[in-house]
Amino acid sequence: MSIDPCGRLWVLDSGQIDSQDDPKQICPPSIIVFDLKTDLPIARYIIPNEYVLQDSLYSNIIVDTRMEDCSDLYVYIADTWRFGLLVFRESDESFWRFSHHLFFPDPLASNYTLHGLNFQWSDGIFGLALSSLDENKERILFFHSMSSYREFFVKTSILRDSSRVNNSATEFHLLGESRGLYGQSSASAIDSRGVMFYGLVTRDSIGCWDTSKPYLKRNTGVVAMNKETLIFPNDVKVDQEVRQSVWVISNRLPMFQAGPLNPDDYNYRIMYADTSEAVRGTVCDPNFLPVHSQSTTDWKK
């Protein structure tokens, strides 16, 4: 889910149940919009059949708008199992879909091991995070596959132009270095100071990176690690309060797949932390001087 500045909650409904074992498409995937003042649904946009491929799993959504009245609102949606990035424009309720090899899983990162469990997932594009507007009114969408150790990026001006669907192969880019072994990441989010937070699903951790610094392994850090409360941090969000918090949900998904969860244990947790306090003293703190090996970050070139 994603909240726009106009007080609306945008919820992605995959329309699917039993996704890991025997996927059943109960209804068409769609976007449902709620008015947060009334808690009532105000719109539903069904994803057209032409963009729902065999075994598609639309799993993540993020809203992009620059106008005070949200009249220019776009939505970006990740298709994790069929490796696509769907774009929705609210003004005329139109959809288009980008395909790119950077949306695919990395075979070398498709083997997972944690807490004595070993399993293989071939999950493609999953994490989506938007930068703040720059001086040219441009935003960058950072993205990664779940089964990957790397981060990528694209300018949102490319995504917002439907004519670029078949003319954009060179516009999607690799960002810096690999996160290294066991660097598979789930969701990600960026705060107003430009710090990215992301779930490290095989490390029981929440990682961080200050986007003003080069994406180098030595410039990425960890803000939280716990072998009980952070088992499989599946979703990460940053709220829009003046003093922002990063919110994390962990759900022990691999344990659920391996067998019944223990009903006498806490299997699902929602946790939060002040974003500034979380990175204080780490390499992700914007006040921390980086170790530079290049004059600027890749995505600002």
* pLDDT score for 288: 83
Beta carbons within 10 angstroms of residue 258's beta carbon: 14
- Asked if the model's pLDDT at residue 295 lies above 60, the reply is no
How would you list the strands of the sheet with 30-35, edge to edge?
Answer: 2-3, 8-13, 30-35, 40-46
Q: Are 159 and 130 in contact (CB under 8 A)?
A: no
**Tens digit of each residue's pLDDT (9 = 90 or more) over 27-56:** 999 999 999 999 999 999 999 999 999 889
Residue 69: how many CA atoms within 13 Å on its side-chain side?
Answer: 2
Q: pLDDT confidence of 292, banded at 50, 70, 90?
A: low
- Asked if the model's pLDDT at residue 100 lies above 90, the reply is yes
Average pLDDT, rounded, for the chain? 94
% of the chain at pLDDT higher than 70: 96
Distance CA 22, CA 61 (A): 24
Average pLDDT rounded to a whole number, residues 71-86: 97
* pLDDT score for 259: 84
The number of angstroms, rounded, from the C-alpha of 29 to the middle of its chain's C-alpha atoms is 18
**Tens digit of each residue's pLDDT (9 = 90 or more) over 270-281:** 999 999 999 999
Tell me the residue ranges of DSSP E strands in 136-194.
140-145, 151-155, 173-175, 185-190
Full 3-state SS string of 261-284: CCCCCCCCEEEEEEHHHHHCCCCC
% of the chain at pLDDT higher than 90: 87
- Asked if the model's pLDDT at residue 289 lies above 50, the reply is yes
Q: Are 274 and 245 in contact (CB under 8 A)?
A: yes
- Asked if the model's pLDDT at residue 18 lies above 90, the reply is no
Q: Are 204 and 231 in contact (CB under 8 A)?
A: yes
**Tens digit of each residue's pLDDT (9 = 90 or more) over 105-149:** 999 999 999 999 999 999 999 999 999 999 989 999 999 999 999
- Every domain of the chain and the residues it spans: 1-99, 101-301
Which of 151, 158, 140, 221 lies closest to 186 in space, CA to CA?
A: 151
- Return the CATH superfamily for domain 101-301: TolB, C-terminal domain (2.120.10.30)
Alpha helical stretches, state H, the chain: 156-159, 253-258, 275-279
